[in-house]
Every structure is written in structure tokens, then in C-alpha cells.
Amino acid sequence: MTPEPASPPDPVSATRLPPPRPVRGVVLVGLMGAGKTSVGRRLAAALATPFVDSDDEVERAARMTVPEIFATMGEPSFRDGERRVIARLLEGGPRIIATGGGAWMNDETRAAIRARGAVVVWLRAELDTLVERVSRRAGRPLLAQGNPREILAGLMEVRHPVYALADVVVDSHAGDRHETVVARIIDALAARGDVAGGAVAAAPVRDDAAGDAAADDHAADEHAADGAHETGKAGPSRPAPDTPDTPGGAAG
């Protein structure tokens, strides 16, 4: 009896492969407006991996906003708490972590990230793109300090050489959709062997009449606290904020 020919693979089933997963933590760095939070959320969804914003965690631990921490406790205390929070997050298994604009500039924070084997992705955007994105968001401390273009240009000059120490550099252009930037990151991680297995889950596509799908909520999603990171306004130094799991001192 002639055996029945094998059926071709079900194209629907083929799309139901589990998504690839990062084999280690992924830390997003870059200036405000680059899209660390908005892209990070979508990257985490595509990789079926938890997402966390380090500023949110610091604020939760301190029960204050980042600008309030800067004003009342000082930048050195904030940076110490930030470092400890990021280190703790990286010890909880692979996840996508969006950091404030100044986090990667801190030597001790960079060392803590390196020590825990995370891959660091710099989301890089051109000056015109950053200015346009941050200008869409009212209430940013950066915008109250002077000319945003001049401030951002100065920050780029100082910070880009340090951001360039990241493991991966991914460009975020004006007009790029979030999904485009996410795909660039995943391709770069896959090329390094930092993601394994499965098929990439399709993130929801949002239509934007303005054309720059990133522009509106690159600015809106980026944590408002990033303005404190960028301006570097520091008040008096006090002890670092506690974290929820270690009373009396930040964990990590």
C-alpha cells in the first residue's frame, strides 16, 4: 500500500512558535527622547520578557519622584540608590531595563551592570530628532532650563563617548516606528547570541498620522524624571533611598 504523502507544515502553527528569549539582562541607555521606555516596553513584549523602568523602581523605593530626590537628597545619593536598584533588578533573571539618561554615565553603575553580565544597548538618535521629541512633552525640567537644542547638544558631546561603551548601538531615526527599532535591537542581539530560540512575537502596530510613530510617545513614555538626569541638578547629599526589600538601605 502506497503511503500517504506527508502534509505540508501548517502555516498557522508555524507562527505559534514561542518567542525568542534573552539569555541575559538587556539594559537600555541613551538620552531623553531616544525611546528607552517606549521601545523597551515593546521589546519586552516581543521577547516575552519582563520590562522595568529603573526610575520607577527608585521612586517606588524612595516614595518620591526623581526630581524630588535630586532636590532633597542630592544627586550622589540618587546615583547610589539607582546603582543598587539596577543591580538588584539584574539579579532577578533576564529582563529589559530602561534607565535614566545619567545612569550609564556613573562609573559604579556601569561596573555593577558589567559584573552581572547584562548586555547594554545604546538607543542613539540625532539631535533634531531628540529636540522634536522632547518638545512634544510639556513639563520636562530640561525645557525649563534654557534652549533644549543647546542643552541636548552639550549633553551629546559629553555623554556620547560614554554611551559608546555600550555593547550594541541601535539608531532611532525620525519617522521610525517602534516596531522598526525593536526589530533592529532583536537582530543585533541575535547576531551576538544574546537571544535564543523561537520566533519574534509581533507587537501591535499603531497608526500615526504624523508619520513618526515614535515621536508622540517617545516623548510621552520616556519617564518625566529623565529631565533631572539630563540637567544634572543636584541638591544636598543625604543617604540613598531605601528599596522595598531592604529596610534602611538600598538593595543590591
Question: Quick one: which of 99, 123, 126 has its CA closest to 34?
Answer: 123
d(CA 10, CA 247): 54
The domain made up of 20-194+211-229 is a member of CATH 3.40.50.300: yes
Helix (H, G, I), strand (E, B) or coil at 138: coil
* Cα-based torsion angle of the residue sequence 123, 124, 125, 130 in order, rounded to the nearest 10 degrees: 70
Strand partners, 170: 123
Please check if 220 is assigned to a binding site. Answer: no
Type of residue found at 226: D
Task: Using alpha carbons, list the distances in angstroms from residue 156 to 170, 174, 211, 212, 219.
Answer: 16, 17, 25, 22, 17
Helix (H) or strand (E) segment spanning residue 41: helix 36-46
Q: How do the domains of the chain map onto residue ranges?
A: 20-194+211-229
Q: Please tell me the predicted confidence (pLDDT) of residue 183.
A: 95
C-alpha grid cell, residue 219: 516623548
Contact by Cβ (8 Å): 95, 53: no
* 159 labeled part of a ligand binding site: yes
pLDDT of residue 134: 86
- What's the pTM value of the predicted model, to 2 decimals? 0.77
Question: Binding residue per annotation — 37?
Answer: yes
Compute the distance between CA of residue 46 and CA of residue 202 in angstroms, rounded to an integer.
6
**Pairing label, strands 168-171, 195-196:** unpaired
Strand order in the sheet with 26-29: 51-53, 96-98, 26-29, 119-124, 168-171
For 48-110, the DSSP string reads T--EEEHHHHHHHHHTS-HHHHHHHH-HHHHHHHHHHHHHHHHTTSS-EEE--TTGGGSHHHH
Residue 233, annotated as binding a ligand: no
pLDDT the model gives residue 202 = 45
Each residue's pLDDT, cut to its tens digit, for the chain (252 residues) gives 555 555 555 544 445 666 778 888 999 999 999 999 999 999 999 999 999 999 999 999 999 998 899 889 888 989 999 999 999 999 988 999 999 999 999 999 999 999 999 999 999 999 999 999 888 765 555 556 778 899 999 999 999 999 999 999 999 999 999 999 999 999 999 999 998 866 554 444 443 433 344 444 444 445 445 556 655 544 444 444 444 333 233 333
Q: Say if residue 194 carries a ligand binding annotation.
A: no
What gap in Å lies between CA 102 and CA 72, rounded to an integer?
18
CB 126 within 8 A of CB 212: no
34 is in an annotated binding site: yes
- Residue 79, marked binder: yes
